[in-house]
Amino acid sequence: MGVSPGEIERRYANVRAALERDGLDAALVCGSEYTGFEGAVTYLSGFQIVHRYAYVLLPREGEPAIVFPSEARYVGEHGTSWIEEQVFEGRPGDWLADRLRGRRVGVYGLDYVMPPRDYAALVLACELVGWDIEFDHARAVKSDEELDSVRESVRINTDGFHAFLAAYAPGRCAAEVLAPAEELFVARGCGRLTMNMVLVGAEFAIARSDTMLEEFCIPSLEIAGPGGHWVEVSRAIGTPNDEVRRINEAYDEYFEVARTALRPGATAHDAHRAVSKGFVERGYRLGHVTGHSIGMTMIEFPKIGEGIESELRENMVFSMHPHAIAENGSDCLYMQETWLVGPDGGVPLSGLPSRIFAAAR
């Protein structure tokens, strides 16, 4: 799924406007092969990291550059990037330090992604400013072109859930049940961009052959389709106990409340309070973030959470997945949905009802 020249210019213009506002000379976006967190590089360059790491340098004025470590010449299909200046360096930080000397630079990935050797070179040459939240806010409102990609990812993810549902039966191992969904994801163009698990008790677990599924199953399905936009869609399956049925009552309430809470002009804090109300009133704690913006990086700002005063805007996209955990620390419910902030409120994109699905066999 190609990106149009107009869409590229829109992305650059939004980031440059944020640079101007914050008094910065350039944005330096760091990405690594950590699944789901290479997407900021893809967003600004079209390049998907397969191995190691890469940088995109977007100056407030002038042309961008994409920089790769030369100790691993292949870190992905370099020809997929629309950026003309492609740099291969043994120590990328040295090249970047020369280019950015004396500048004030907003860095996406400063705390979690940038290798220490590059930081050591850059910090002596220029002023580095952590810029994760600001960069994410600059890309949080999706264009129509991006929303087409989001909807395609949702269709693939939803079909993958149905494949998981069809394969599920108590006593089967998680690897067997997830395999048809993963096969579908790869066939439909997701490539390496999948991160799918099951919950065992209240904890996430890789779907291995020694993970046996019981009468109640909670899959966690997260994928990005051909356009590179991540989405999250899943529902619990099987026979819940009485405690989980009670949690599901709060889930039903959240799903209806989100239709009005996820509206333009509301704050992320207000939305969190609204959708978490049913869980809190029943005495459940939430063991994972209520929701978060999602795009070409799996988890973006703003989060839907306590004290987050970011204002929601039309065409923002959020993954919502309240992780409600009972007092015993074992019974829980975690179901994912990708929501669009529409002109009048939240729109769930999958079309799946908010319910626990019966096993298909």
What CATH code is carried by the domain that includes residue 83? 3.40.350.10
- Cα–Cα distance measured from residue 282 to residue 344, given in angstroms and rounded to the nearest whole number: 29
Whether 198 is in a domain gets the answer yes
For 143, residues 6+ apart whose C-beta sits below 8 A from its C-beta are 7, 10, 315
**Are residues 278 and 209 located together in one domain of the fold?**
yes
Residues above pLDDT 70, as percent of the chain? 99
Closest CA to 292 of 316, 260, 261: 316
**Are residues 165 and 231 located together in one domain of the fold?**
yes
- Cα–Cα distance measured from residue 134 to residue 301, given in angstroms and rounded to the nearest whole number: 8
The count of residues in the chain is 361
**Are residues 163 and 110 located together in one domain of the fold?**
no
- Cα–Cα distance measured from residue 95 to residue 118, given in angstroms and rounded to the nearest whole number: 9
Whether 270 is in a domain gets the answer yes
Name residue 55's beta-bridge partners: 30, 67
Residues above pLDDT 90, as percent of the chain? 86
Task: Give 230's DSSP letter.
Answer: E
* pTM of the complete model: 0.95
Q: Sorting pLDDT into bands at 50, 70 and 90, what band is 193?
A: very high
**Are residues 70 and 161 located together in one domain of the fold?**
no
- With a cut of 80, say whether residue 1 has pLDDT above it: no
Among 91, 107, 138, which residue terminates a domain? 138
**Are residues 65 and 152 located together in one domain of the fold?**
no
- Cα–Cα distance measured from residue 22 to residue 91, given in angstroms and rounded to the nearest whole number: 28
**Whole domain around residue 280: which residue ranges?**
144-348
Among 111, 138, 165, which residue terminates a domain? 138
Domain count, the chain: 2
- Cα–Cα distance measured from residue 228 to residue 313, given in angstroms and rounded to the nearest whole number: 22
- Average of per-residue pLDDT across 287-310: 93
pLDDT (0 to 100) of residue 205: 85
Cis peptide before 226 (omega within 30 of 0): no
Q: What is the pLDDT of residues 47-82, one digit of tens each?
A: 999 888 999 999 999 999 999 998 867 777 888 899
- Cα–Cα distance measured from residue 277 to residue 270, given in angstroms and rounded to the nearest whole number: 11
**Are residues 84 and 214 located together in one domain of the fold?**
no
pLDDT (0 to 100) of residue 18: 98
Question: Which CATH number is 216's domain given?
Answer: 3.90.230.10
- With a cut of 80, say whether residue 13 has pLDDT above it: yes
Whether 356 is in a domain gets the answer no
pLDDT (0 to 100) of residue 239: 94
CB 15 within 8 A of CB 58: yes
Alpha-carbon dihedral sign for residues 35, 66, 59, 129? positive
**Are residues 117 and 41 located together in one domain of the fold?**
yes
